[in-house]
Amino acid sequence: MKKENKIGKSIVFILLCFWTLVQLFPLYWMFTFSLKSNNEIFGENVIGLPKQWLWENYTAALTTGNMAVYFLNSFIVTAGTIALTIVAALTATYALERMVWRGRKLANNLFMLGLTVPIHAAILPVFIMLRNLKMTNSYQALIIPYSAFALAMAILISSSFIRGIPKELEEAACIDGANVYGIFWHIILPLMRPALSTIGIFVFLQAWNELMFAVIFINDSKYRTLSVGIQNLSGSYTTEWGPIGAALVIATFPVLILYAFMGKKIQESLLIGAVKG
């Protein structure tokens, strides 16, 4: 009986290792072929480590491939979206959760509808709006829609955090003569810091990786983000794989670095989002 158990355990372990290989091998292959020449990729050395480490692939991707510009654009758009989402979500959450007014329940339910509405709903009307305002091909063209669609989740997350803050703190400040802005700024905001990183992670992954809005609202390469930039690059570098591999790695490494340092926090953030949503 015991022996059988051991055999079963080893089989399960082997299966888990096999799946690990399936998940990691394509990524390993991506990293290695980003440093190889076509000759190596296409036959000489398909799956080994590069014989010659061709860092030129990275230079080519960053300069002629424009990846440096796209990277900066993605960074600006993502940072802008995080900032706007956090400001809008925190102030609204405070009004929705702590302040007293008629219709706040209804307002809250309306915001929560935003969790299920797919971005398809907005794409054409928002595109027409942006076109009429001459705002396509700008950072705002992405930051504003991204923030609007991130808002529901951000409010949900900050609501669950704010409920954990005892009301006595605000009451005490009130007795000391603080007004509502003072209470929000000096008491609530500092205590909401853990919510900020959760929202930040959530919005970062969404904005950094988004494709549909970015494809349609931006066609000037000056404002192109990474996801669209990579699409274009692969269209123009059809025969040379190395620089494309380099571009893929460049787009991926910020995410991987973030994961290496705060993997647990990222997993928790996405769990909160899923379970609450």
Partner 1 sequence: MDKVMKNKTAILLFMLPATVLFVAIIIVPIFMSGYYSLLDWDGMTEATFVGLDNYIDLFTSKSAGFPKTLKNAFVLAGLSVTLQLGLALALALTLAKGRRGERFFVTVFFIPVMISTVVIGQLWMKIYNPQYGLINMALRSMGLDDWTRTWLGDQDTALYAVFIPLLWQYVGYHMLLMYAGIKSIPVSLREAAKIDGATDYQISRFVTIPLLKPVLQVCVIFAVVGSLKAFDMIYVLTNGGPAHASEVPSTLMVSRIFLRNQYGFGSAIAIMIIFLCFFFAILIKKVFKTEVD
Using CB under 8 A, which residues numbered 172 to 201 contact partner 1? 174, 179-181, 183-184
Distance CA 275, CA 269 (A): 10
Applying the rule CB under 8 A, the residues between 220 and 239 that interact with partner 1 are: 226-227, 230-231, 234
Contact 191, 165 (CB under 8 A): yes
CA-CA-CA-CA torsion sign (236, 239, 241, 242): negative
Question: Does 58 sit near partner 1 (CB under 8 A)?
Answer: no
Question: Does 271 sit near partner 1 (CB under 8 A)?
Answer: yes
CA atoms within 13 A on the CB side of 93: 27
185: Cβ contacts below 8 Å, ≥ 6 apart = none
Closer Cβ to partner 1, 76 or 216, answer by number: 216
Question: Does 155 sit near partner 1 (CB under 8 A)?
Answer: yes
Question: Does 165 sit near partner 1 (CB under 8 A)?
Answer: no
Contact map string, positions 15 to 54, toward partner 1, x by CB under 8 A: -x--xx-xxx-xx-xx--x-------xxx--xx-------
Q: How far is the CB of 29 from partner 1 (least distance, A)?
A: 7
92: Cβ contacts below 8 Å, ≥ 6 apart = 111, 151, 155
Which of 14, 49, 72, 256 is close enough to bind partner 1 by CB under 8 A?
A: 256
Question: Does 64 sit near partner 1 (CB under 8 A)?
Answer: no
Interface segment toward partner 1; rule CB under 8 A; list 50-58, 65-73, 134-142, 251-259: 251-259
Distance CA 236, CA 137 (A): 21
Distance CA 145, CA 181 (A): 28
The label of the residue with tokens 């670095």 reads 257
Interface segment toward partner 1; rule CB under 8 A; list 59-67, 75-83, 110-118, 192-200: 110-118
Look up residue 11 and give its two tokens: 């089989």
Interface segment toward partner 1; rule CB under 8 A; list 51-59, 64-72, 146-154, 190-198: 146-154
Question: Does 105 sit near partner 1 (CB under 8 A)?
Answer: no
Q: Can you state the percent helix, strand and coil of the chain, rounding each to 5?
A: 75, 0, 25
Which of 49, 72, 117, 169 is close enough to bind partner 1 by CB under 8 A?
A: 117
Question: Does 259 sit near partner 1 (CB under 8 A)?
Answer: yes
Look up residue 121 and give its two tokens: 């709903």
Question: Does 114 sit near partner 1 (CB under 8 A)?
Answer: yes
